[in-house]
Amino acid sequence: MSGGGDDYKREESVVLIVIVSLAALSLLSLIAAFAYYCYITRKVSRRLNSHQLPKRSSSPAPVPLPPPVIPPQGKESPSSNSASDGAAAGALVVGAERGVQLFGYRQLHAATGGFGRAHMVGQGSFGAVYRGVLPDGRKVAVKLMDRPGKQGEEEFEMEVELLSRLRSSHLLGLIGHCSEGGHRLLVYEFMANGCLQEHLYPNGGSCGGISKLDWPTRLRIALEAAKGLEYLHERVTPPVIHRDFKSSNILLDKDYHARVSDFGLAKLGSDKAGGHVSTRVLGTQGYVAPEYALTGHLTTKSDVYSYGVVLLELLTGRVPVDMKRPPGEGVLVNWALPMLTDREKVVQILDPSLEGQYSLKDAVQVAAIAAMCVQPEADYRPLMADVVQSLVPLVKNRSASKSCNPNVQASKPLD
């Protein structure tokens, strides 16, 4: 009996040892698995960290304006103003700051006589403009921007960025700029005859003011302003939308050649056919396209509408909005549009100071162009290239007629 009991105890001991051994092995396996998991986790973590991008600065550098496309026709001469260069003129694209000077505030303060009132030549929405003379004798116009805060800074940077890169004889040239302390100044070519608005409305738009701009000069101004917009819309990629095209932003040199100016509100448009950019509505009452005012959708056709309003100003001698006029005549587009395509009524809306200077055929053609530009539906408006092509022969014919008969002036509209 005692022998059997010993065997039983030995079997129990063996079973216990086996169980303990298995438990120990299981525990060791768990520990090994956990250790391997921790090793793999640390290894993966180190690998990910080694491939992380460095953190961005809190104030990233601004994205530069994409350079405009250089058309294959060649470079445009800055002094070219011929009516035929609308199709052949190319864009001379320069890098930011190339050919643009950096001025000190004291230098411009001295050049403009301390920004005295006697030197002020204009007052815009973004600041006053002063006449100045640089030490080398060049006459310049200096815009002292007074729009405070972020918006003013954005407008300043946009104008410097655009005009540092774009070159056309139909855009106002930027000579340089100053951003010193809290001062922001832009230095432009000096345009001896100011802006178109001043010549259309000598008395500030009142009915008593009589413009001295004759018909041939108005036609040429219309063409050159159209070429400025054509350059922005169709010779630059992505296109530039002016967004504040109006008669006060068309400047005239000593020979009354026109330059488009003031790019503080300009916007880069969509490079897709028929595309738009959505933005807050800015601009001047009477010039803003209806679809842009309603939806904030901005396209190059928005500028075409504004151009049409300016063309109506050149035709009629009326400001875009004048609520002092009789009922129905306060808004220029609403009053003129129904008559622009009626040959008999076109003469009724023309500026009385133009009497005897135009042929009825030319006036009807210009009125038809204006009617297309101010169509309520953007899709029905022409491209600026089409406007230029329509105006070129009118300007050429009128110039040829004037040169052949320099002393002859008709006493009534010519048929």
Q: 70 exposed, middle or buried (CB, 10 Å; 0-12, 13-18, 19+)?
A: middle
Which residue, among 254, 365, 262, 270, has the nearest Cα to 311 in the 3D structure? Answer: 365
DSSP-assigned letter for residue 414: B
- Of all helices (H) and strands (E), which one includes residue 268? strand 267-268
- Which residue type sits at 242? H
The DSSP result for 305-360, as a single string, is: HHHHHHHHHHHH---SB-TTSPTT-SBHHHHHGGGTT-HHHHHHHS-GGGTTSSBH
Neighbour-count burial for 294-315, b at 16+ CB within 10 Å, e otherwise:
eeebbbbbbbbbbbbbbbbbbb
Structure token digits, residue 159 = 């104008």
Phi, psi (deg, nearest 5) at residue 294: -85, -35
Q: Are strands 101-102 and 174-180 parallel, antiparallel or unpaired?
A: parallel
**Residues 413/360, Cβ–Cβ less than 8 Å:** yes
Structure token digits, residue 146 = 């007074």
Point out the residues that are catalytic. 244
Q: Are strands 127-133 and 258-260 parallel, antiparallel or unpaired?
A: unpaired
| 3-class state of residue 45 by DSSP | helix
